[in-house]
Structure 1
Amino acid sequence: MAHPAGSVLIVVPTYDERDNLGPLLARIHDALPGADVLVVDDASPDGTGELADACAAADDRVHVLHRPGKEGLGAAYLDGFRFALRERYGVVVEMDADGSHAPEELPGMLDALAHTDVVLGSRYVPGGRVVNWPWHRAALSRGGNVYSRLALGVPMRDVTGGFRMFRREVLEALHLDSVASQGYCFQVDMAWRAVRAGFRVREVPITFTEREHGSSKMNGAIVAEALWRVTLWGLGYRLRRAGPPYGEPPAARPTADPADPAPGPAHR
């Protein structure tokens, strides 16, 4: 089924998020009534997938993609992106299932996308904030972002955040089949690819709120993978300055009217 250029698909990976899913879907559709949601469930043992199926049966704006097991955040998003491209959605959104990303901020992010190619919801630009995080999580997040910026030379202040929007043209150009990163370094990988390919990336402030139900999926293996991969990418980047590793910048990209205001810091 083909969708119009402005159509929105929100990709929500899930693993044991049964308590969070119903309220999240309701808030999303209150904020963006015309958006579709794709729940990508990794065979959650708590019944999240079955609840998602029931929600899809009751609302044709909800779709479900069942995966055979817990295979990582990056792989779940990639499957969701392929679904979005196959179904011809115009805008693709990444969003956590645990309520840490406020659906009420979706309309503002969508407005910002009118002037750029990728919108990153940022905790660390002026106006952004984090609520109810323990100090060690906040320190790990800020440290990871500083390290990624220095290692890769990216200008974004929140390159690890998982609340973001892409125009479909960006995902078509970024060679998704070559993305091997899992965990939270997937977010770094996708943002860096977009910058290297010449797309415009804009950060807008968001409020990130620690989950109320369930447990975080962050663990030592995820942190170690991110540190290892970002270090290798940074070293490789400095050894390959002759050209971008992910292909040439796209020949044509959507452009904003120069007279339009530019909300938030933009990066090229």
Structure 2
Amino acid sequence: MTSRTELNTQGWELPAHATHELGTERTRYCVCIFVINEGKKIAAQLERMKPLASQVDIIIADGGSTDGSLEPDFLRRMGVRTLLVKQGPGKLSAQMRMAFAYALRQGYAGVVTIDGNNKDDPSAIPDFLRALDAGMDHVQGSRFVPGGIAENTPAARWLGIRLLHAPLISLSAGVRYTDTTNGFRAYSRRFLLDPRVLPFRDVFSAYELHYYLAIRAARLGFQVKELPVTRRYPNHGPVPTKINGMRGNLFVLRTLFKACLHHYDPPAAPTASPSPMEAPRG
């Protein structure tokens, strides 16, 4: 492993959170799992991810679960390296800022992200790691590209992604994306630390950061690609989602339009890419 210098974190806006390190760093990359009260779903997902423990460190970014599903002893048995617990305001994007800041400070060369509701097949994680090794900066998982599988996707969700969300993000980014609400992704260290990106801002609270990073990566000329993934919704029962009702969907649309109109771009971004700020772990 290479030595690393201190990060310049001046100006980083992060939610208050607690850090519980349950193991030691072992790998070049980490996978960040975003959860809040996922119960049996996160337990099942971690069981599926145990075979990957030698390839990628597992970080859980908890939004403040109260269901007892993240007991430290259980997480250690599942090979989880760190549990981060958000204590400040915000939703998914606040969890993402918390997780990315931890990963970068720990020296990881890249981050894979995945939801913790057991909808995604984690066996695709090695594909994301290989993409990062090949120089990709933003890797979007897609169930709609050849090799991808979309099972039991709710009709309204399918139509919204295919006819509205993905086309608008693609138009704004200048590249074609097919599955822009899918949180199964990967980001390189150089992309997250580029001063033209600045992801550590309080404006990213709910779903803004997902949309912004997909657009910003392509607009700045970073290497982006889609990889086939599998996303399965349950055959019956409620749809596992944190977006509910008319109000929730209208909020998502408003956020989407603001991202596509570059509302979240840094106010005074440099025009040239800087030299690397530090050496990642090798």
Q: Which residue in the other structure is 1:224 paired with?
A: 250
Richer in helix (by share): 1
Tell me, in whole angstroms, the C-alpha distance in 1 between the residues paired with 2:231 and 2:190. Answer: 27
Is the 1:162–1:187 Cα contact (8 Å) retained in structure 2? yes
TM-score by structure 1 length?
Answer: 0.79
Change (3 A) 1:172 1:55: farther
1:201 Cα shift?
0.5
Shift of 1:227: 2.0
Q: Does 1:120 find its partner at 2:140?
A: yes
Name 1:79's counterpart in structure 2.
Answer: 98
Question: Which piece of structure 1 moves more, 146-155 or 172-181?
Answer: 146-155
Q: Percent identity?
A: 26
Q: Whole-Å Cα distance in 1 between the matches of residues 267 and 130 of structure 2? A: 30
Q: 8 Å contact 1:152–1:230 — kept in the other structure?
A: no
Q: Is the 8 A contact 1:101 1:208 kept in 2?
A: yes
1:14 paired residue among 23, 35, 58: 35
Q: Check the 8 A contact 1:197/1:246 in 2, yes or no.
A: no
TM-score (normalizing by structure 2): 0.75
Matches of 1:43 and 1:137, distance apart in 2: 26
Change (3 A) 1:200 1:168: same
Aligned to 1:187: 210
Any stretches of 5+ residues in structure 2 without a counterpart?
5-23, 277-282
Is 1:104 the counterpart of 2:123? The answer is yes
Partner deviation per Cα, 1:124-150 (whole Å, 9 max, x = no partner): 222223111221221122232123323
Give the superposition deviation at 1:246.
4.5
- CA distance in structure 2 between the partners assigned to 1:65 and 1:167 by the alignment: 20
The CA RMSD over aligned residues, in Å, is 3.1
- Tell me which residue corresponds to 2:16: none
**Alpha-carbon distance between aligned partners in 2 of 1:195 and 1:250, rounded to the nearest angstrom:** 14
1:132 aligns with 2:158: no
- Counterpart secondary structure, 1:48: coil
Question: What SS does the corresponding residue of 1:101 show, helix, strand or coil?
Answer: coil
2:31, 2:111 within 8 Å by CA — same for their partners in 1? yes
Figure out how many residues of one structure are paired with residues of the other and give that number: 247
| Aligned-partner Cα distance in 2 for 1:250–1:28 | 36
Q: Which letter does structure 2 place at the counterpart of 1:230?
A: L
| Mapped partners of 1:25, 1:127: distance in 2 | 24
Which residue of the partner structure matches residue 232 of structure 2? 209
- The 8 Å contact of residues 9 and 38 in structure 1, kept in 2 or not, is answered as yes
Q: How far apart in 1 are the matches of 2:202 and 2:271?
A: 17
Q: Distance in 2 between matches of 1:186 and 1:210?
A: 24
Closer/same/farther in 2, CA of residues 248 and 72 from structure 1, 3 Å limit: same
Counterpart residue type for residue 220 of structure 2? A
Deviation larger for 125-134 or 100-109:
125-134
Partner of 1:261: none
Per-residue CA distance 1:190-213 (angstroms, 9 max, x = gap): 111212222111111111111579
For structure 1, which segment, 31-40 or 71-80, has the greater mean C-alpha deviation from structure 2 after superposition? Answer: 31-40
Residue 204 of structure 1 aligns to a residue in which SS? strand
Q: How many Å apart are 1:5 and its aligned residue?
A: 11
Deviation at 1:32, TM superposition (A): 4.7
Deviations 1:162-183, CA, capped at 9 Å, x for gaps: 1011111111112122362344
Secondary structure (helix, strand or coil) at the match of 1:176 reads coil
